[in-house]
Amino acid sequence: MDRVDSSTEEEITVPLLLSVDEIIEQSIGRLNFTQILQIILVSLPSFFDSQQTFISVFAHAQPTWHCTGSNTSCASNSNLCDLSKTEWAWDSGNVYTSIISEWNLQCLGSIIAGMPGTAFFIGCFLGGLLLATLGDSSLGRKNLLCISSLVMSVAALASAFSPNVWVYSVFRFLCGIGRAPVAICALVLLTERVSKRWRAQAAMAGFVTFSLGILGLTGIAFLTRDFSWRTLYLWTSVPGIISSVLCYLFLYESPRWLLMQGREKDAMAVLRGLGSDTIISPSLLNAKTEQKLPKTNPFISLKILLSRRWAVKRLIASMLLAFGIGLIFFGMFLGVGNLGFDIYLTSVFNAILTLFSYLLTFLWWIQHCNRRSSLLGFCTISGATCLIFSVMGTSHKGILISLEIVSLFCASMANNLVLMYMVELFPTCVRNSGSSLVRQAMILGSVFDPMLVMLGTKNIIYSYGTFGLVMLLCGFLVLWLSETRGKVLCDTMEEQELVDQDTKLLF
């Protein structure tokens, strides 16, 4: 046994060799005020992430219109594309509250009208593939989070000055590239800087702020409903830029990642900054738990991940599962206009519903329920109810809204669980890469949502029917994955293999 002496830290006796997890647990096992402030700071980008993700609900909405003159061929239920421009006008007059009215996209088909939304999600997908591994290698969690958030907000600000739909789609694509790593970086950073006891509660903060961002977006959209859609972008992008700068100035890096990179002094500084009274010296780190990634190759973590057969199988099953969940989760939010209800009230209600699902997930469900069985149940219920009300149509309003509530709630629970599940499935050395790839599969599912939503304006079975069917099929893939409830976070591939072999869960 060795004794660690320091004038600023408590004198303690520790074992000669410790894992990274043991060092973190013993150094910052208690949650203090500084850690709470850091949790809030890490969660800020998620607030603006949700706003840029769902801003199209309002900026791309079909504006209301009215007939002009006394032409009897024009009626409120007429198809605009069958009428002459002199027979009708937008209710907003010369104020373009949507890109649909400003650029006359109402009759150009689902591909052109849905192009900006699709471009955004394609950017999210490609951005995740290109940037995901940087969080494990050269940039680290903090820098990638701040840079991504800044790029997302700057591109959103530029979107407000777009002269046409083509330039606008380019800026939405760049915005998607920027926001791609935000959610997973925030989740990984939140879970890696607290002890196992507080992991679920810390992760919940990012999800809660995501819901609050949707509520904030809906409030801003309602207050600016009589103004140009460009105003909505200004009010959501400028605060996002300020938030990115604050995060860069005051946010701490993950001590786990610093230790895995061999930056012991920086890790000690972070632990002190987090207000730890007892700091275990990294010199006691078990050499077998170190897996330093060469800084010359930013994609080395991806190479390590794909070098193990069990990891590849785990990754494929996780990505297909996430694809189905992403398709229905984002699609149900973006498709609220197809249900025939007020988009402001429906968006608020959906945000509150998901907020409740976040609280339920992280305050109770994560601690008491298995990941696999819960995901299977929620995916099955969400997919089945979505299929049912898509076949019924919009004629039965009461039944429709009831089934939509059930389907969205279960999709939200599945979305919450799968993101937390992915953090637990992969070790520290590849956690950001593995989790990000799974997240990108979720985003890939959402790439098809804008076009499906536009098709759903004719018949909701084209949108919600597709959501439900894919969710049902992909949900059963969770049976291929290992149960992770109550297990420690592993740090290296070797350690993960040993843990899985001990529990007979390795593929």
Residue 72 pLDDT: 61
Task: Label residues 50-77 b or e (16+ Cβ within 10 Å = b).
Answer: bbbbbbbbbbbbbbebebeeeeeebeee
Structure tokens at 328: 């229905």
- The model's pTM: 0.77
**What pLDDT is attached to residue 474?**
92
CA distance 406 to 400: 10
User: Could you give the number of structural domains in the chain?
Assistant: 1
Residue 253 lies in a domain: yes
* Residue 23 domain flag: no
Residue type (1 letter), 138? S
The rounded distance, in Å, linking the Cα atoms of 232 and 222 is 10
Q: Look at residue 14 and tell me if it is in a domain.
A: no
Place of tokens 């099953």: 317
In a domain? residue 173: yes
Residuewise pLDDT in 10s, the chain (507 residues): 444 444 444 434 444 456 666 667 777 767 788 888 999 999 999 999 999 999 998 998 888 887 876 666 676 556 777 777 777 888 877 778 899 889 988 887 777 888 998 899 899 888 877 886 777 777 888 999 999 999 999 999 999 999 999 999 999 999 999 988 898 888 888 888 877 778 777 888 888 899 899 999 999 999 998 899 999 999 999 999 999 999 999 999 988 888 778 788 888 888 888 766 555 555 555 544 444 555 545 567 778 888 888 888 889 999 999 999 999 988 888 877 777 677 888 888 888 998 899 888 878 887 788 889 999 999 999 999 999 988 887 677 778 888 888 999 999 999 888 877 887 888 877 887 788 788 778 888 888 888 888 777 777 888 889 999 999 999 999 988 888 887 777 778 888 888 777 655 444
Pick from 93, 140, 152: which is nearest to 266 by CA? 140
DSSP 254: P
Please say whether the beta carbons of 403 and 385 come within 8 A. yes
Q: How many other C-beta atoms are found inside a 10 Å radius of the C-beta of residue 309?
A: 10
CATH of the domain at 461: 1.20.1250.20
Handedness of CA 478, 482, 488, 490 (dihedral sign): negative
Instruction: Tell me which residue range forms the domain holding 427.
Output: 33-58+109-276+292-502
67 occurs within a structural domain: no
Q: Which of 323, 117, 342 is nearest to 222 (CA)?
A: 342
- Rounded CA-CA distance 142/140 in Å is 6
Give a yes or no: residue 472 inside a domain.
Answer: yes
Query: According to the model, what pLDDT value does residue 162 have?
Result: 96
CA–CA distance, 197 with 497 (Å, rounded to integer): 24
Whole-angstrom Cα distance, residue 374 to residue 381? 11
282: in domain: no
Name residue 108's amino acid. Answer: L
At 69 the pLDDT is: 66
